[in-house]
Amino acid sequence: MDTATTGDLDIPANIAETLVDPVAYADDRIHDSYRWLRANNPLGVARPERFDPFWVVTKHAHIQAISRQNELFHNADRPTTLTTQALEERVRKITGGPNLVRSLVQMDAPDHPKYRALTQGWFMPANLGKFEGRVREIARATVQRMLDRGGACDFVEDVALGYPLHVIMEILGVPEADEPRMLKLTQELFGPQDPDTARVRDALSAEQVSAMLQAIIADFSAYFRKITEERRQNPRDDLATVIANAKIGGDYMPEHDQTSYYMIVATAGHDTTSSSTAGAIWALARDPAEFAKVKANPELIPGLVDEAIRWMTPVKHFMRSATADTELGGRKISKGDWLMLCYASGNRDEEVFEDPDRFRSDRKPNRHVAFGYGAHLCLGQYLAKLEMRILFEELLPHLKSLSLDGEVKMTQAYFVNGPKKLPIRFEVN
What pLDDT, on the 0 to 100 scale, is given for residue 93? Answer: 87
Sign of the CA dihedral 303, 59, 31, 204? positive
Predicted local distance difference test score (pLDDT) of residue 309: 98
Alpha-helical regions (H) of 177-319: 179-190, 206-233, 239-245, 255-285, 288-296, 301-312
Angle at 309 between CA 306 and CA 313, to 5 degrees: 150
Calpha distance 84→79 (Å, rounded): 10
Q: Residue 316: what pLDDT?
A: 97
- Nearest CA among 217, 178, 223 for reference residue 199: 217
Q: What are phi and psi of 105, to 5 degrees?
A: -65, -35
Cβ atoms < 10 Å from Cβ of 86: 15
Q: How far apart are CA 155 and CA 150, in angstroms?
A: 13
At residue 282, the pLDDT reads 98
3-state secondary structure of 205: coil
Q: Which parts of 89-187 are beta strand (E)? A: 152-154
Question: What local confidence, expressed as pLDDT, does residue 205 receive?
Answer: 82
Please report the pLDDT score of residue 201 as a whole number: 41
What residue type is 297 in one-letter code? N
Q: What is the pLDDT of residue 337?
A: 98
| Residue 54, H or E segment | strand 54-57
Q: How many CA atoms lie within 13 A of 424 on its CB side?
A: 31
Say which CATH topology domain 13-428 has.
Answer: Cytochrome p450 (1.10.630)
- What are the mean pLDDT values of the chain's consecutive 10-residue runs (429 residues total)? 62 97 94 98 97 98 98 97 93 90 95 96 94 97 97 97 93 92 81 59 72 88 95 96 96 94 86 95 98 98 98 97 97 98 98 98 98 96 97 98 97 93 97
Buried b / exposed e over 107-121, threshold 16 CB at 10 Å, is bbeeebeebbebbee
Alpha-carbon 262 to chain mean position: 16
Q: What is the pLDDT of residue 198?
A: 55
Q: For residue 224, give the nearest of 174, 293, 278 by alpha carbon.
A: 174
Count Cα neighbours of 116 within 13 Å in the Cβ-side half-sphere: 17
pLDDT value for 269:
75
pTM for the predicted model, two decimal places: 0.94
- The C-alpha angle 288, 290, 293, rounded to 5 degrees, equals 110
CA distance 186 to 190: 6
Cα 328-333-335 angle, rounded to 5 deg: 135
The CA-based diameter of the chain, rounded to the nearest angstrom, is 63
Contact 334, 3 (CB under 8 A): yes
- Cis status, amide bond into 110, omega within 30 of 0: yes
Q: Residue 344 phi/psi, 5° resolution?
A: -65, -25
CA 163 – CA 181 distance, rounded (Å): 15
Query: Length of the chain, please?
Result: 429
